[in-house]
Structure 1
Amino acid sequence: MSILVNIKWNKTQLNDIELDTNQDVLTFKTQIYAMTNVPVDKQKIMFKGKILKDDSDLPSMGITAGTTLMMMGTPEGGELKKPEVVQKFVEDMTPEERAKILHEKLGVTLPAGLENLGNTCYMNSTVQCLKRVNELKDALKNYQDNQPGYDQNKVMAMAAKKLFTDLDFKGEPFAPMNFVQAMRMVFPQFDEVDDHGHHKQQDAEECYSNLLTAFKNSLKLSEEEGGDLVEKLFGIELENTVTNSENKDEPPQHTKETQLRLSCHIDNNNNPINHLAEGLKISLCGDMEKFSDTLQRNAVYHKESKINKLPSYLTIQFVRFYWKKESTLQGTKAGKAKILRNVTFPKVFDLYDFCTDELRKSLDLGREFERKLREEEDNRRLQGKDVEMADESKQDDGKDKEEEKKLVINKKKAQQEEEIKVSDAMLYRPHGIGLDTGHYQLIAVVTHKGRSADGGHYVGWVHQSGDDWLQYDDDLVSTVKTDEILALRGGGDWHTAYLCIYRKLEVTK
């Protein structure tokens, strides 16, 4: 039997709808779907406050002709859709989400520390400093293993890819477990343990050299780009001249070699070194003994090295650790010892005096251009001071001094911020755009704290922007100023510079 009923749906009234009481509710819903576009599973039909189930017996429910049924449901296409991007407030984001947003939107990287996994501070500090070499970091993050077969260098490159990516996007301290395991597998010396099964402290410079060697063998460029990324970034081409000190008639020997770092010797036969330049000079020249073809015996030769090609990044190791012989008189055993002497190093280091004559000629062009730019900048600064003095004299004529002071302060602050942006852009822009001057600016330092070479603690110090630096003490990250970095010169048990990384400065208009 069929009857006519009414349906009230939200603000819509549907009248004279045919209802076959011999059919079930599900069939009736299908009929309503054709009229309202509300899916069957989304319909809720109510009679006398009760929801009709799909298998309800209609005749027994007392529905008669003219009855008004209530319906709830949303038609297809009218549903509330979940937003494609859920808006989140910064305070509700995880550190990793904040780091990703800042990196993508502003190009800002939230510093992330590395947890110490058992005397791994030597590795943590080294990695944080290498991360400041933008070209190396980007190459590792984009590294693709396209060659079949197992290779230890590829293992380190893939582990470094994950580590540097995590350092950019984690936004909080984390355990570099994958990288540590890879390094200990590829370089077994870093897997050495003591009698109690604890991993021993290792040398940060050894870690630095091994990592660069692994990256050198895996990060290859095209022939047009230079072929070898690590050598292109860190390679220092030296021109060596060896002369026989006992036979000046013997022709000098000229050779070339490439190194990835220079050494700053501190102890020069009990003639202490006070400055980086002094120690570097000693390391680039010295006497040695070898066989002389002209004298047919061993003779003393003098070797002097000059830089023939400047690297993009200059790494200098302070030779603070040495092997100390056993002394029965002092009651000491043989082993590594540390030189605590105070050795200063500059923010900007000039390599001009360490270069070959040929290289100096090309540097002279850049240095002359730099001198002219400096004179122009000095003139602009003097003109700016004249304007400030004129403004101050106007204040004395009765103007609102407080307002004028605020304007001057805000103007100076804006100028300083702009100068920092320009300075950072000049420091970290791609090389090859300007002229070389021989000047390098400090961007990272690895320090060692303590008197023992087999113990102590390593910390990484990395330039951030302007006068601001980041101190990476394993998982703890704090900010410091340049003056605090230059105070890491040694002379006691405090943090002492062990590795310094400088970036080449180029001059352009």
Structure 2
Amino acid sequence: MPPVKVNVKWKGKNYEVELDTDASASDFKAQLFSMTEVEPSRQKIMIKGGILKDDTDLKTLNIKEGASIMLPKEPAKKTLFIEDMTDRQLAETVSQLIFLSHIFITQLILMLISRLKNLGNTCYMNATLQCLRTIPELQESLNRFPNSVTSPDLQITLTTSLRDLYKQLNRTTESYVPFTFLQALRSAFPQFDQRNANGYMQQDAEECWTQIVTSLNNANIPVHRLQDGSTSSEGSTSSSSNDYFVKHQIINLIISLKCVDAPDEPESTTHSTFTKLSCITSEKDLNYMQSGILMALDENIEKDSPSLGHIANYTKISRISRLPSYLTVGFVRFWWKNNRQIRTKITRRVQFPFDYDAYDLCTDELKQKIGPLRAHILEREKEKDSAKRKAKLSVNSNEKETAESKNDSNVSEVDEEVKKLIDPDLEKDIGANVSGLYELCAVLTHIGRSADSGHYIGWARKHDSPEEWVKYDDDKVSIVPQSEIQKLDGGGGSAY
């Protein structure tokens, strides 16, 4: 069924909302959350004489164009004093106080984590900024950017605003209002300034990510300073960019084109530079990120054939000739639905790993360079896992302590062994990955069915606790276990 426009009434305001009747009721609640900041679990939506439930089939409600939907204001919570409590309420309160010290510590940690205020459908920007902030080299580069830049270049202004925003986040424990950066973003890229009758429109986080990284590239942040004070340009991957941060993002591809219809036509090879890989999510039998990336790298296309003089079929094979130290993978979740003329979302579950091996995506030459170190690290990881399993099974605590001290004593020896396995060319290339191995450090998710609505959330691994992650839901920040990240592979809150 085609979407219908409805009027949502909340706190005396009217919001014109496009309701997708093919979507779930929970998706509609997420859509309202992005506008009103009322959490879906606390929404009591009055529709068709009753309260909308998460499992309600919207198509069965036969909602008409222009229908009114009530979203009542959340009732204020009444303060309950001890003398007014029942015996049961008092007992429950006492049991909760037993964990007060743990709760206090958790709350103290959360107070120290900076958060960004939503300025009206700006969750796409907030989630992007929090994920980018996990890259230390970005802040290092920004801190070297000139303190005062008088330039008409809007992308330089955007870079300066990003530098100042991150500095402020590092100094405050309160919710920060990113108004100056938002103004700079909308000035540099007017698509983020689009509005409708209800205010600013929701935008695409992937576009925001791309435009910010492009601006940092074009603004030419100073390159890394070596210990002797000189600057290094060795290993430069692009004639148009020599900046330190972007070098940690640059992916070099070698692309081969072979004509299927004319096998005798010479194969052509080109070189190209990107800042992220794409992962296809639309295929029915596709369940893993690695398969989706390979599907995007190996394509069948149509183009003009110089030997045949007309459009012909080609195989397009792309392989990576340079891996960055930070690999960005974009899940292709949105696609254009011609029959309804809207962008809709692919919610298929595509699993992503916490530890990723990019070896199979590389050219043979790069495989030879990263191969020795990669094999050594993987073997060491197997040994560590085996030692952990043995330690868990051991009943002798002295044996455990001996094993741990033995591992600690070998650290410096292992470091020297690792250094010898790094390829000399890759070692000179600032920002290059030297092993092809990665650890997941951030995830950006989207809730909802359409790119023009819904809600974006950023998730980042805690640097001091690998098993814990920080959930950045605008200015609502919480600490979650790593198991929660595994649930983001599809469905309502899909990795994007």
Tell me the TM-score normalised to structure 2 length.
0.66
Aligned pairs (5 A) from 1:37-436: 110-144=112-146, 149-196=151-198, 198-218=199-219, 219-221=221-223, 222-224=231-233, 226=236, 227-268=242-283, 271-326=284-339, 333-374=340-381, 376-377=383-384, 381=388, 384=391, 388-391=394-397, 432=427, 436=434
**Identity level (%):** 37
- Preserved contact between residue 160 and residue 179 of structure 1 (Cα < 8 Å): yes
1:111 & 1:343 partners in 2: Cα distance?
Answer: 30
Runs of 4+ in structure 1 off by over 3 angstroms are: 145-149, 374-386, 390-393, 431-435
Output one character per residue of 1:288-323: Cα deviation in whole Å (capped at 9) or x when no partner: 111111112211111000011111111011111011
- Preserved contact between residue 137 and residue 245 of structure 2 (Cα < 8 Å): no
What root-mean-square deviation, in Å, do the aligned CA atoms of Structure 1 and Structure 2 show?
3.2
Tell me the residue number matched to 1:51: none
1:462 & 1:484 partners in 2: Cα distance?
Answer: 12
Output one character per residue of 1:238-271: Cα deviation in whole Å (capped at 9) or x when no partner: 0111000011111100111010001111114xx3
Q: CA deviation at 1:230?
A: 4.0
- Preserved contact between residue 145 and residue 222 of structure 2 (Cα < 8 Å): no
Amino acid at match of 1:461: W
Unmatched segments (≥5 aa) in structure 1: 1-98, 103-107, 327-332, 394-407, 426-430, 499-509
Shift in CA distance, 278/151, structure 1 to aligned 2, threshold 3 Å: same
- Preserved contact between residue 145 and residue 154 of structure 1 (Cα < 8 Å): no
2:386 & 2:302 partners in 1: Cα distance?
Answer: 55
1:291 & 1:209 partners in 2: Cα distance?
Answer: 30
1:435 & 1:213 partners in 2: Cα distance?
Answer: 21
Amino acid at match of 1:482: Q
SS in 1 for 2:157: helix
2:351 & 2:392 partners in 1: Cα distance?
Answer: 34
SS in 1 for 2:300: strand
SS in 2 for 1:267: coil
Shift in CA distance, 338/371, structure 1 to aligned 2, threshold 3 Å: closer
Greater Cα offset, 205-214 or 144-153: 144-153
Amino acid at match of 1:489: D
- Preserved contact between residue 324 and residue 433 of structure 2 (Cα < 8 Å): no
Shift in CA distance, 335/312, structure 1 to aligned 2, threshold 3 Å: same
2:381 & 2:329 partners in 1: Cα distance?
Answer: 28
Unmatched segments (≥5 aa) in structure 2: 1-107, 224-230, 237-241, 416-425
1:295 & 1:352 partners in 2: Cα distance?
Answer: 36
Aligned pairs (5 A) from 1:427-466: 432=427, 436-464=434-462, 465-466=465-466
Greater Cα offset, 451-460 or 433-442: 433-442
1:243 & 1:350 partners in 2: Cα distance?
Answer: 28
1:149 & 1:435 partners in 2: Cα distance?
Answer: 34
Q: How many residues of Structure 1 are paired with residues of Structure 2 in the alignment?
A: 355
1:124 & 1:292 partners in 2: Cα distance?
Answer: 46
- Preserved contact between residue 324 and residue 337 of structure 1 (Cα < 8 Å): yes
Q: CA deviation at 1:149?
A: 3.4
- Preserved contact between residue 109 and residue 169 of structure 1 (Cα < 8 Å): no
SS in 2 for 1:214: helix
2:139 & 2:246 partners in 1: Cα distance?
Answer: 15
Amino acid at match of 1:349: Y
2:373 & 2:195 partners in 1: Cα distance?
Answer: 51
Q: CA deviation at 1:137?
A: 1.7
Tell me the residue number matched to 1:496: 494
Shift in CA distance, 484/292, structure 1 to aligned 2, threshold 3 Å: same
The answer to which structure, 1 or 2, has the higher relative contact order (CA under 8 A, 6+ apart) is: 2
Q: CA deviation at 1:167?
A: 1.3
Q: CA deviation at 1:390?
A: 3.6
Q: CA deviation at 1:496?
A: 0.9
1:374 & 1:319 partners in 2: Cα distance?
Answer: 32
2:266 & 2:196 partners in 1: Cα distance?
Answer: 52
Q: CA deviation at 1:460?
A: 0.4
Tell me the residue number matched to 1:14: none
SS in 2 for 1:436: coil
2:379 & 2:313 partners in 1: Cα distance?
Answer: 46
SS in 2 for 1:301: strand
Tell me the TM-score normalised to structure 1 length.
0.64
SS in 1 for 2:469: strand
